[in-house]
């Protein structure tokens, strides 16, 4: 039997080691950002949610969803984009991956149609992360404003793991980052795609960000 202190220590470690992808999933779940969720592989999505449930950051929704949320979800389920997504997933998932997902659902006592929501603890964690990212963004913006190229590049490298989450939380967008990379005289897409700390989901944000055009880089 797991003792309370052991569980607390385990959760502290899990929370401390949450990845940028985990925070992307946490933010997407909180805002029911369905388009972001399908950019994450089903296995990664469920593994992230397992961490959240284990540490009381997320729970099964214990009340009927609002009419607004019901409509949003139903419209999504009826969309061509979702239909194409399910077809692709059914083809790409291996039997082992499907079994892994099934076992996690059983462990969390969830069914495929169940809805989940963040607990107060999960919301607090997300808000703290957002404040941290705003501080990091302000540092980048200040170096960009002062044209301090060396410090700007060093800070982008330092905060690389956080950059995709800035996009998910609406702190930054593609056009703002393009401006920073223009300041450095470096192509953003090429630079970011070559950085092993950057989750590939970031490249989707780049290609779909308002004001970003890959062909504009280097001009």
Q: How far apart are CA 208 and CA 80, in angstroms?
A: 18
pLDDT tens track for 184-205: 998 877 787 787 777 676 666 6
Q: Flag whether pLDDT at 50 surpasses 90.
A: yes
Domain limits, the chain? 4-118, 126-216
* pLDDT at residue 219, as a whole number: 47
* pLDDT at residue 209, as a whole number: 53
Burial 107-130 (b: 16+ CB within 10 A, else e): ebebeeeebbbbbebbeebbeebb
Cα 109 to its chain centre, rounded Å, is 24
């Amino acid at each position: 039997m797991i003792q309370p202190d052991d569980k607390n220590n385990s959760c502290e470690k899990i929370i401390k080691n949450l990845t940028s992808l985990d925070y992307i999933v946490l933010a997407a779940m909180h805002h029911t950002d369905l388009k972001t969720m399908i950019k994450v592989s089903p296995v990664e999505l469920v593994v992230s949610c397992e961490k959240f449930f284990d540490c009381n950051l997320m729970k099964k929704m214990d009340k009927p969803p609002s009419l607004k949320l019901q409509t949003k979800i139903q419209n999504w389920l009826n969309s061509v984009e979702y239909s194409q997504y399910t077809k692709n997933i059914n083809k790409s998932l291996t039997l082992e991956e499907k079994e892994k997902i099934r076992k996690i659902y059983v462990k969390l006592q969830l069914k495929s149609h169940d809805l989940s929501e963040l607990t107060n603890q999960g919301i607090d964690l997300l808000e703290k992360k957002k404040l941290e990212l705003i501080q990091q963004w302000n540092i980048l913006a200040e170096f960009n404003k002062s044209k301090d190229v060396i410090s700007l590049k060093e800070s982008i490298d330092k905060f690389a793991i956080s950059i995709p989450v800035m996009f998910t939380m609406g702190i930054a967008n593609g056009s703002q980052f393009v401006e920073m990379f223009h300041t450095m005289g470096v192509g953003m897409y090429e630079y970011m795609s070559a950085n092993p700390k950057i989750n590939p989901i970031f490249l989707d944000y780049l290609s779909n960000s308002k004001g970003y055009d890959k062909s504009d880089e280097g001009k």
